Amino acid sequence: MTTKKIKFTLGAFLIVGSIGYLISTSISQTSMYFVTVAELTDQGLSRYTSELKVKGNVVKGSIIRDPNDYLEVDFAIADKESKGNNLKVHFKGVTPDMFQDDGEVVVEGVIKNGVFHANTLLTSCPSKYEAEKQAGKSHPGSVTPYELKKPDLKDLGTGPKATI
């Protein structure tokens, strides 16, 4: 092999290796376990030491807001099927509009001292809207369709005239 081919091959390996390293480190930094409350409590809270996502439903009557700081909220989540295992959650931030008792949520964060400290709180739209949509009804926030009408240029009216 000539020195030109050796340099090209070495450069190609260096570029491919760098790209592979960047991909592997970014995947490991952004990857998270996604578990339900039942899976988390069955396997033990202390097993998970890194960030994870947990899906569940807010337990009725468990939402407690700090009166001094309305952005801090404590609540419990449980699986809809098995209400026996609850997970205490602490969240600091603006809660979504759909955050309510028995609402489905996904929280992202870490477990500290048996409490899930969430840094992200996501809610899902209730499934009742899907049934209403199929029945032809619209849900809050939807815009009713309207027809665009072309302006009648012949009848512009006698409005105020601007002078320049």
Q: What is the pTM of this model?
A: 0.59
Per-residue pLDDT of 26-36, as tens digits, reads: 776 666 677 78
Q: What is the mean pLDDT of residues 113-132?
A: 75
Predicted pLDDT at 75: 92
Please spell the DSSP secondary structure of the chain, one letter per residue: --HHHHHHHHHHHHHHHHHHHHHHHHHHHH--EEEEHHHHHHH-GGG--S-EEEEEEEPTT--EE-SS-TTEEEEEEE-SS--S-EEEEEEESPPPTT--TT-EEEEEEEEETTEEEEEEEEE---THHHHHHHTT---TTPPPP-------SS----------
Element housing 148 (H / E): none
Predicted pLDDT at 14: 93
Is it the case that residue 125 has pLDDT exceeding 90? no
Is it the case that residue 4 has pLDDT exceeding 80? yes
Domains of the chain: 30-134 (2.40.50.140)
Per-residue pLDDT of 51-102, as tens digits, reads: 888 888 888 888 998 888 888 999 999 887 765 788 899 999 888 888 888 8
Of residues 137 and 75, the one with the higher pLDDT is: 75
Residue linked to tokens 């001094």 = 68
